[in-house]
Homo-oligomer: A and B are copies of this chain.
Amino acid sequence: MKLEGKVVVAQGGGPTAVINQSLVGVVLESRKFMQVTKVYGAVNGVSGIINEDFFDLTQETTHNLEQVAVTPSSALFSTRDKPDEKYCKEIFSVLKAHDVRYFFYIGGNDSADTVRIVNEQAKKSDYEFRAIHIPKTIDNDLMINDHTPGYGSAARFIANAFIGANLDNRALPGVYIGVVMGRDAGFLTAASSIAQKYPDDGPHLIYLPERPFDMEKYLLDVKKVYDKHGRCVIAVSEGIKDKNGVPIITKLIDDVEKDAHGNIQLSGTGALGNLLANYIKKNLNIKRVRSDTFGYLQRSFMGCVSDVDQHEAREVGEKAAQFAIWHNIDGSITIHRTGYYSVDYKITPLKDVAGKTKHMCDEFINTEGNNVTDAFKFYVRPLLGSGLESAHRIRAPRVSKILRKEE
């Protein structure tokens, strides 16, 4: 007996470069099934459902969907709402009224938790429908998954940013600090290591939320690199914490802004970078110290996309539709690495993904806690996709001095 009814797809949390691939994967695959009467897109995530604000994507052209697929950021718009039980009851009134039987939510671990709550409500309400979470996050912090769609493209941005920052810092030496997104997991910051091509290339130091950040150790690290190379490039996660787990950034801002999930606002401010730069200026005798906070560019920049990431983002959308509509299963789509480099997809119980955070494993971080290992580089490289450019140097010999022979 086929479950006939409508499909609703929504996008939650922070946008990524490939989140629309997953959307289009769901829409195109769903439209093939006879039991699917309509495919709706909820505007602004779950808040669009309670507001009954839907696009009728059954009436969208396939060609335009393909154009949207290669456009970054959430085409259905997003939300930071986290539904409680009351919110979910409202969702159900709307879903029933519209005869929606398949719900796909593309998002991170917060969105997975939303799907889990919605699904529990569905069971309580004795309303048969399928709810599937489709993974998406530049943070790469979802459990079970080898990695998540959105990460590869953001990691490619970070790699390209640090390849450039390292070259710039070689040309005009000093200390350069690049602050990278990543509240609890350092995967995105760690992708900066791809810039380490030649032995003296930066980032020379990489600070991750997985290891406690100590200001005095930081100073010693920078001094050591600067003494050796006459310059220092640093990649630092916005989420670095002290030994007590307190985010360094909360030490700076009196009036900390939090979202509906209780998350502190880390992006959209250069405060952490400024603090780290000023600390070097004050305590080491280095004049040229610069910091950049990469901010929203990391997740929205046009034209910096990993093709591998694109393919996988599309497939998790397609697989979601297949699991729900062919196989009648709820859950979270997960990516599993099967070779170097190949993947397969599974469906995992929502509770194993929802609200949980994956961290970088110990094998990916060096003993000193200020860089990554080759094992991490091996892990991350295929995710960045094809066509990644590499920096090249002049290798011509130096000329003998004439006037300053004694030097």
Contacts and interface: CB of A to CB of B under 8 A. Distances in A.
A404 B393 CA distance: 64
A267 B290 contact: yes
A297 B394 contact: no
A269 B176 CA distance: 11
Given A292-B296, A296-B176, A300-B168, A60 B395 contact: yes
Nearest to A287: B257
A74 interface: yes
A40 interface: yes
Nearest to A405: B52
B164 A52 contact: no
A163 interface: yes
Contact of A274 (B269, B397, B398): B269
Most B CB contacts (10 A, CB to CB) among A11, A391, A399 go to A399
B269 A291 contact: yes
A294 interface: yes
A292 B293 contact: yes
A271 interface: yes
25 contacts: A15-B171, A52-B404, A55-B398, A56-B399, A64-B395, A71-B393, A72-B164, A73-B167, A73-B171, A80-B172, A160-B304, A161-B302, A163-B302, A164-B301, A167-B300, A176-B296, A268-B291, A269-B277, A270-B271, A270-B273, A270-B291, A270-B293, A293-B293, A302-B391, A304-B304
